[in-house]
Amino acid sequence: MKRESLPGGIRIELSRLEEELKLHLSVLRVYKGRYYVYSSNSKVDKQTGNRIYKVEYVGRISEDGNFIRPKGRSNVSLEDIKALPANVADKVSELKGQGRDIALVSDGEIYHVYERVYGAAPLYLGYISEDGRLTGSGNPEKAQDSDERYSPINMDSTDIAVLRALSMNARMPFKYVGRIAGISAAAAFHRAKRLENEFGIRYIAEANLEALGYSEFICSIKFLDVMPSVDELRSVFAAEPSVQYAAVTKGEFDFIAYMLVRNNDEMATIIYNLKSTVMRRYKSYWHIVPFRSYYGYVPLRDEFFDIVEEDKAWSRSRDNGRLPEGKIFYADYEVMRDLNTNGNAEFVEIESRLGLRKEMAAHAYHSLIEKFKVIRRVTLTMHKTPKKYDAIIFADFIDYDAFLKTRDELMQNIIEDGAFTDKYALIGDLESPYSEMFITPVYTENGLEEAIDGLRRKVRGISIRSVVVVEAVVGRLCYRVFDNAYSIQSETLERNRKITRRKIDYYL
C-alpha cells in the first residue's frame, strides 16, 4: 500500500519501526483493522551472480498504533506444504500447477502469497484464508486472476478500423468513424463503447515535445548487492515530475526511466536530486542517455504540467499585451492539461470545469494543434490489453554501412501490423551506445524471441540485446492502433517508392 494512503498513526509507527529495525518496511495488507508489515531486501549470490530477494513478515500494527510481533514461525515454504491446513495446501498446489514459483508468509491467521520472479522483487498476489479462499491484492497486475489479462479479445476488422480512427483522432464525430469503418454512426458509437470497456481505453492529448521545448532521456540503473524495494523506487521517481514512465526490469539493468527535460544542465540537477534520496543507500551504476523517439508515444503524467505551466503558460498583463515567443496563452495551457486526462470531453464540459467563456475551449484546442503545434492529436491508450509483458529491445549499430543497406527493411518491420495493438509502443535513437531502442508488448509465449528474430533476419550490421519489464512503477506506455500511413517510416518508404499507402483524412 502507498504510505501516504495509510492513517497518520500507522505511518508514524511504521517510521519508528524502520529506525529501530534499520529496515525498509511496507504495509502489504489490511485485515480486520490490522496493518501487516513486511520487509524486503536482496543480495547478490556470489557464485551465480543472480540477485536473490527475500520478503519477511515483521508483525502487525493495530488501529491504535500498537505494534504486535509475530508469534512462532513466520515463514512457510513450499517444502512445508504438508504442515499447512488442507484447504491452504490445495490452493498453493493449484497456484504452483499454473507454473508459478510461489512463496508463503504466514502470521498464524492468514497466509500471504508471493510469486517469486527471477531478477525482481517478489510480486504480492494476495492472501489465503484457512478455508482456502484467495483474496487478490487489488492490483490487476498482481492479482490471482491476472491470467484473465492474457485471454484473447475477439476483434474483427471493423473493430480495428474503429480503434485506428479513434487512435488518430479521438474527437472525430462518430458519423465519420462509421464512414471509415463502413458502418453507421450508431454502430460505431456502440462498438467504441464496447471496446472502451474491454480495453480500458482512455483518451489523451499526444503532445509535440519538440514544440514544447523538451528533450527525451533514458535513465537505466544497475544496482549492486542490494536493490531498493518497489515502494522506494516508486516514491522517489513518482515525486520527480520529469519522469513520465519508469519500470523495474530483468536483464542487464534493473530499472529504466523515460524522462523529459529542457537541457543537459537540468538533467544533471535532476539526477543529482534523485541520487540524493533513499537511493544513496544503494550502490548502483546510473546510465543517462539522450533519446529521440520517432514512433509511438509515452503519455504525459499530470504532474508534468506543473513544469509546463511555469515554463510555457502566459497571461496578459498591463505591462505586456503581446504573447512572448515560445509561450502559449494560459487558457490554452489549461485546455491542454485537461485534454491530457479528458481527451474526448465535450468543449462545453471543459469550459464549465475550467471556468472559461463560451467557445474558448474549442478555440484553444484548434490553436494548440494548428497555431502553436504543441498537440499532434487527441489519441487513445489502452489500459487493459491481453499482453503478457513488455520487453525492451536494443539494436546496437556495429557496422553502420551494412545497416544502411537494410534500413528500408527495418522501416518495413516497424510498420507491420501488431497483435491487438501496434507492434511497438515506442521506438527511438539512443546516443550511447549508438543504437535504437524498441519497446514492444509481448502477447505470446515466444513473442519476444519472434520480435528479435524478425529484426535479425531483416536488418544487418546490428547486435541485439533485450530486457523484460517486470513492473511499471511510474506512468504508463501508450497502446493504440496507429495508422502507419502517417508514420515517418511509411513517408520515407513512399519517397523511396518502396510502398504506396492510401491516406484517410481523420480531421474531417
- Per-residue pLDDT of 462-489, as tens digits, reads 999 999 999 999 999 999 999 999 999 9
Q: Classify residue 317 as exposed, middle or buried by CB count within 10 Å of its CB (0-12, 13-18, 19+).
A: exposed
pLDDT winner (highest mean) among 47-51, 68-72, 365-369: 365-369
Domain identity same for 10 and 135: yes
Give the Cα separation of 409 and 360 in Å (integer).
46
Range from 151-160, 200-209, 463-472 carrying the lowest mean pLDDT: 151-160
In this predicted structure, what is the pLDDT of residue 109? 58
State the average pLDDT over residues 437-449: 94
Task: State the pTM of this model.
Answer: 0.72
Domain identity same for 80 and 194: no
In this predicted structure, what is the pLDDT of residue 77? 47
Give the Cα separation of 127 and 60 in Å (integer).
15
pLDDT at residue 97 above 90? no
Confidence of residue 319 (pLDDT cuts 50, 70, 90): low
Which of 45-50's residues contact partners 24+ apart within 8 Å by CB, and which partners? 50/118, 50/119
- The answer to the question of residue 185 being in a domain is yes
Last residue of a domain, one of 89, 115, 149: 149
> What is the CATH number for 169?
1.10.10
State the average pLDDT over residues 421-448: 95
Domain identity same for 184 and 119: no
Give the Cα separation of 13 and 68 in Å (integer).
11
pLDDT at residue 273 above 90? yes
Domain identity same for 165 and 90: no
Under 8 Å between Cβ of 200 and 212: no
Q: pLDDT for 234-244, tens place per residue?
A: 999 999 999 99
Domain identity same for 108 and 162: no
Residue with grid cell 498482481, as numbered in its chain: 142
- The answer to the question of residue 54 being in a domain is yes
In this predicted structure, what is the pLDDT of residue 53? 54
Confidence of residue 67 (pLDDT cuts 50, 70, 90): confident
For 254, how many CA atoms within 13 A lie in the half-sphere containing its CB? 26
The closest alpha carbon to 51, from 213, 282, 247, 232, belongs to 282
In this predicted structure, what is the pLDDT of residue 467? 96
Domain identity same for 144 and 161: no
Domain identity same for 48 and 110: yes
**Lookup: cell for 136:** 487478490
pLDDT at residue 504 above 50? yes
Across the chain, mean pLDDT equals 86
238 backbone dihedrals φ, ψ, rounded to 5°: -70, -25
pLDDT at residue 193 above 80? yes
State the average pLDDT over residues 440-461: 94
Domain identity same for 138 and 169: no
C-alpha distances out from residue 317 to 333, 349, 354, 367, Å: 17, 28, 20, 21
In this predicted structure, what is the pLDDT of residue 408? 95
- The answer to the question of residue 15 being in a domain is yes
Element (H, E) at 255: strand 255-261
The closest alpha carbon to 1, from 138, 98, 96, belongs to 138
Under 8 Å between Cβ of 344 and 171: yes
In this predicted structure, what is the pLDDT of residue 59? 82
Q: How many structural domains compose the chain?
A: 2
**Lookup: cell for 105:** 508468509
**Lookup: cell for 314:** 502566459
- The answer to the question of residue 470 being in a domain is no
Give percent of the chain above pLDDT 90: 63
pLDDT at residue 459 above 60? yes
In this predicted structure, what is the pLDDT of residue 457? 93
Domain identity same for 116 and 182: no
Confidence of residue 13 (pLDDT cuts 50, 70, 90): confident
pLDDT at residue 78 above 60? no
In this predicted structure, what is the pLDDT of residue 35? 83
DSSP 155: -
Handedness of CA 88, 89, 90, 96 (dihedral sign): positive
Confidence of residue 493 (pLDDT cuts 50, 70, 90): very high
Domain identity same for 8 and 145: yes
Confidence of residue 21 (pLDDT cuts 50, 70, 90): confident
- The answer to the question of residue 182 being in a domain is yes
Domain identity same for 52 and 114: yes
pLDDT at residue 104 above 80? no
Q: How large is the C-alpha radius of gyration of the chain?
A: 25
**Lookup: cell for 304:** 508534468
- The answer to the question of residue 93 being in a domain is yes
In this predicted structure, what is the pLDDT of residue 100? 63
269 backbone dihedrals φ, ψ, rounded to 5°: -65, -40
The closest alpha carbon to 444, from 420, 413, 427, 411, belongs to 420
In this predicted structure, what is the pLDDT of residue 153? 58
Q: Mapping DSSP to helix (H, G, I), strand (E, B) and coil, where does residue 391 land?
A: strand
Give percent of the chain above pLDDT 70: 84
Alpha helix ranges (H) inside 384-481: 400-405, 407-414, 447-458
pLDDT at residue 44 above 70? no
pLDDT at residue 152 above 50? no
Q: Classify residue 180 as exposed, middle or buried by CB count within 10 Å of its CB (0-12, 13-18, 19+).
A: buried
pLDDT at residue 79 above 50? no
By residue range, what is the domain housing residue 115?
Answer: 3-149
Q: Classify residue 446 as exposed, middle or buried by CB count within 10 Å of its CB (0-12, 13-18, 19+).
A: exposed
Alpha helix ranges (H) inside 437-502: 447-458, 488-495
Give the Cα separation of 331 and 278 in Å (integer).
38
DSSP state string for 209-247: HHHHT-EEEEEEEEE-S----HHHHHHHHHT-TTEEEEE
Range from 116-130, 295-309, 323-337, 411-425 carrying the lowest mean pLDDT: 116-130
Last residue of a domain, one of 185, 200, 215: 200
Domain identity same for 79 and 174: no
- The answer to the question of residue 163 being in a domain is yes
**Lookup: cell for 186:** 450508431
In this predicted structure, what is the pLDDT of residue 61? 87
Q: Classify residue 150 as exposed, middle or buried by CB count within 10 Å of its CB (0-12, 13-18, 19+).
A: middle
- The answer to the question of residue 416 being in a domain is no
